[in-house]
Amino acid sequence: RRKGACVVPPASASHTLRSLGMPAAREVLVLARREDLMKVAMHEAQKIGFTPYGALDNDGGKELIDKHKFVACVLGNVFVNNELHREDLAEMKAVMDEAKIAYAPCPMFGDAKSALLSLGVYEPPAEQAKLAAIAG
């Protein structure tokens, strides 16, 4: 893996919104140390309506934070739980705190949905319908 490498999703509706000067409020950052975990988490985030961007190292994460307005960040299990990454994790948490990006670890292998749910940026469709019925 090369320094600063990051994976960017294909063009999507959020890119179109940005080109029209509208914010893409559904972008999430996935920070991981294993590419397979990052790809699973990105796929899970995309399935529930987010536009995910992923990075395998701090330089890539910082580069993406400079370019995008993320609603949240999902942290991979290996990045959070491996003692080898303690300093990198602390550095990225400080960067995200400064950028006002909420973050949470995946509770298990690539489970971005649960992480985003715990942050309050994702609501399952059944809950959305229930709230709409109450409000309506």
Q: What span, in angstroms and rounded, lies between the C-alpha atoms of 14 and 20?
A: 10
In a domain, 131, yes or no: yes
Q: What is the CATH number of the domain that holds 88?
A: 3.40.50.2300
In a domain, 1, yes or no: no
Residue ranges making up the domain that contains 87: 6-135
pLDDT in the model for residue 8: 54
pLDDT in tens, 52-85: 999 999 999 999 999 999 999 999 988 888 888 8
Query: Side chain identity at 129, as an amino acid letter?
Result: A
Q: What span, in angstroms and rounded, lies between the C-alpha atoms of 135 and 91?
A: 42
Q: What span, in angstroms and rounded, lies between the C-alpha atoms of 77 and 24?
A: 27
Residue ranges in the chain modelled with pLDDT below 50? 1-2, 10-23
